[in-house]
Structure 1
Amino acid sequence: MYQFRWISGLLLGGTVALSGMSDARAQDAYKIGMSAGLTGYAATVDRAWRDGVEVAIAALNAEGGIDGRKVELVVEDNRSEPQDAVTAYRKMISSDKVRVFASGCVSAGNFAAAPLVARAETPMVLCSILPQQPDQVKWAFTTIPPPRFEVETRLEYIQKRTQIRKIGVLHDPSPYANAQKAAAEKEAKDYGLEIVGVEQYKTDDADLSVQIQKMYAAGARAIIKIGLGGTTLTAAKNIKQLDLDMIMLTSLEDIAVFRPVAEVLGDKFFFVASPSQVYDGLEDSPLKTEIGKFLKPWRAKYKDRDPNWAGRGWDAVMLIAAAARKAKSVEGPNMRDALESMDNFQGTTGLYHMSATNHQGITENPLLLATITGGQIKVVK
């Protein structure tokens, strides 16, 4: 297992985040573990998530850390594969003694390791959908909005801004993509739309023309593309090469992935955007203020690199820190209970409303539809 280990900046100053800590305890590092797809299909997203977590940890350590301890991040590359994620989690629990997880967006990997994490009573704040079993959800929290929000943002645009009424759904086999697909199948009719084709692809497919042609032949003039990575550009090239009169609307992704897609499809390409990706176009609000707090250190280090997934990593760390302050403890069960009480917590993606019955957090759709025109990201009004 490839291991990346980073210890964020040294503890600055003598003031600790919480009072009552002994000098000896203040010397102990508080370990946050991360299982992330640093290689494989999720690499673009999970590397950004990791970098956002690092920036957040550096900011916390500069202010005294968590619970009076400096924070150490232990990262294991799961290669975007579930079996590697299980190995990564097991190692971090048994060998590295991590106290909480801020893991990446490989849902299948987080699902596979969830029983292990629950037995260890270690909270997880994730960049993926939640596990399916109640005893596992008990220890898991997510920074992402419900998958249906991504779907609804696109369906609403097709309904209100186009004459298209027949659509196709093109998705990868990941749990998150399947959740979006299910939402599209359930809700399309509510928007006056008919799904005439649902096609799956593999994350390493180099050609999607067969699936696209089938949907087009069935009458689809818009494709809801669900999934990460290079297949988005592959689909765009196939539509262009086949000279099809179709628009493509894609899921949340790093802007770097979208720029070449926009060059291929032009005004036939749209994507779901988070608020941080269109920060300059936002009105003044608590949301914009929080994004600004994150963007200052992010841009100082990474310039104009896409902030979306990194912002969610920032949110994960800030949720963990807030829970530790509230619980006055970093022990697993106490942290879990405190995370469950994080209501009205302002993040970079939206307002979190955690509760005993809701570990999803974001309950109001903060997502926007955007396009790239002349190299500039623009919100579709």
Structure 2
Amino acid sequence: MYKRHLLVATAMTVMAFSGEVRAAETFKIGSSVGLTGYAAVIDRAWRDGLAVAADALNEKGGILGKKIEIITEDNKSQPQDAVVGYRKMISSDQVNLFDSGCVSAGNFAAAAFVMQAKLPMYLCSILPQRDNEQEWAFSFLAPPKFEIEARYRYIEEKTSIRKVGILYDPTPYALMMKGLGEQLAKDFGLEVVAQETYKPDDADMTVQLGRINAAGGGAVVKIGQGGSTVTAAKNIKQLGLDKMLLLSSNDDGSIFQQAGQVLGDRFFFVAPPVQLPKQLKPGPAKDAVDAFLKYWKPKYPDRDPANSARAWDSMMVLAKAAEIAKSTDGKALRDATQKVPSYVGAYATFNFSEKQHVGITENPFLIGKFANGELVVAE
């Protein structure tokens, strides 16, 4: 009996030791993503971009010889669910780093205890609002003003419209962009004559759009993502506002196609070059796009690549940070991310430093439209 217990104990010790070895040989990346709710389209793309990047990096040995494992938790596009998921990934999954989706409020809510755990946060969203939390966070989202500037510049240079309305949802990102929209309008000779809000799941926005029209707004600068853009397009058509333009935030190509099919040449959107690949010229940016699409297209031939490209870029920056750090320790990776040289990615060029935790410092955006069944640059 004693020998039997000894053998069992020995076997359990070996199994536990093997588990520890396997854990040590794995680099775990936690990702809080809104796989359901208003952020689902973009955050599913973010999750899938992380996955194809992990495949590509694992083919080359992973992170410092450790196989990358992506652990995702659905935050349902709600901050309270994000907090639960973040806590689980820290305590139970013991992740090495976070690379999370675009639900800003959820990332904000979790930032304090992620900082306490001394884990870097790579984010699809804007940075948390507190300075000490920002020290551990890195944003792969273009500064909100770039989206506003691209649309305002198009209105100023390509149309005779000088009065616009802002239509926005109540998310932190949208509220920030709304404020910028007010501030920047005069720089482009424009006047914001109305500001109207909506909920991401609203099925009708005719009241808000009617107010913008009554105030003299010839174009709607919409701030917010998902199916609400399609709803706004349908409502503009239903109201018979034949001259009103709709200019959408950066989003998934499927949303642009649906809205474009409704409004035709009166619908425009903000797009990075990877979303309009036919416009790319030979050079580092095209090389980066091609490297990403090599893995993306075979797996998802009919899906829009834009937000997945940003997730891919975040993983490539991580790989370079790990090479610099020569460590998978959280603080070492945080410090090394600040030292990664300028990286030309599939979505944009990223420049991080100790004082610069928003990586996109040059405006990458083009204005696109839907024409002849595809997304193209608006002339």
TM superposition score normalised by structure 2: 0.93
Structure 2 match to 1:201: 198
Which one of the candidate residues 134, 138, 143 is aligned to 2:135? 138
Structure 1 match to 2:368: 370
Q: Tell me, yes or no, if the aligned pair for 1:166 and 1:196 is still in contact at 8 Å.
A: yes
1:62 aligns with 2:65: no
Question: Post-superposition shift, 1:24?
Answer: 5.1
Distance (Å, rounded) in 2 between the aligned partners of 1:174 and 1:160: 30
1:88 aligns with 2:85: yes
Structure 2 match to 1:290: 288
How many residue pairs align between the two structures?
Answer: 359
| Residue identity opposite 2:145 in structure 1 | R
Flag the structure with larger Rg.
2
Question: Post-superposition shift, 1:25?
Answer: 7.6
Structure 1 match to 2:318: 320
Which one of the candidate residues 122, 125, 128 is aligned to 1:125? 122
Structure 1 match to 2:183: 186
Distance (Å, rounded) in 2 between the aligned partners of 1:40 and 1:318: 28
Distance (Å, rounded) in 2 between the aligned partners of 1:147 and 1:349: 15
Q: Tell me, yes or no, if the aligned pair for 1:26 and 1:68 is still in contact at 8 Å.
A: no
Q: Tell me, yes or no, if the aligned pair for 2:257 and 2:375 is still in contact at 8 Å.
A: no
1:357 aligns with 2:355: yes
Distance (Å, rounded) in 2 between the aligned partners of 1:74 and 1:282: 34
CA RMSD, Structure 1 to Structure 2 (Å): 1.2
Question: Post-superposition shift, 1:283?
Answer: 1.0
CA distance 1:27–1:124, change in 2 (3 Å): closer
Structure 2 match to 1:51: 48
Structure 1 match to 2:378: 380
The percentage of counterpart residues that share the same residue type is 52
How does 1:1-381 map onto structure 2 within 5 Å?
28-244=25-241, 245-381=243-379
Which 4+ stretches in 1 moved above 6 angstroms?
A: none
Unaligned runs of 5+ in 2: 1-19
| Residue identity opposite 2:169 in structure 1 | D
Query: For 2:52, what is the secondary structure of its paired residue?
Result: helix
Question: Post-superposition shift, 1:137?
Answer: 0.2
| Residue identity opposite 1:286 in structure 2 | P
The Cα offsets for residues 60-118 of structure 1, whole Å up to 9 and x where unpaired, read as 11111101110111000000000000111000001100000110000110011000111
Q: Tell me, yes or no, if the aligned pair for 1:67 and 1:325 is still in contact at 8 Å.
A: yes
Distance (Å, rounded) in 2 between the aligned partners of 1:192 and 1:237: 29
Distance (Å, rounded) in 1 between the aligned partners of 2:179 and 2:302: 35
Question: Post-superposition shift, 1:343?
Answer: 3.0
Between 1:256-265 and 1:219-228, the stretch displaced more is 256-265
| Residue identity opposite 1:336 in structure 2 | R
The Cα offsets for residues 114-134 of structure 1, whole Å up to 9 and x where unpaired, read as 001111110011100001111
Q: Tell me, yes or no, if the aligned pair for 1:78 and 1:88 is still in contact at 8 Å.
A: yes
Please identify which structure carries the higher helix content: 2
The Cα offsets for residues 149-176 of structure 1, whole Å up to 9 and x where unpaired, read as 0000000000011000000000011111
Query: For 2:202, what is the secondary structure of its paired residue?
Result: coil
Query: For 1:229, what is the secondary structure of its paired residue?
Result: coil
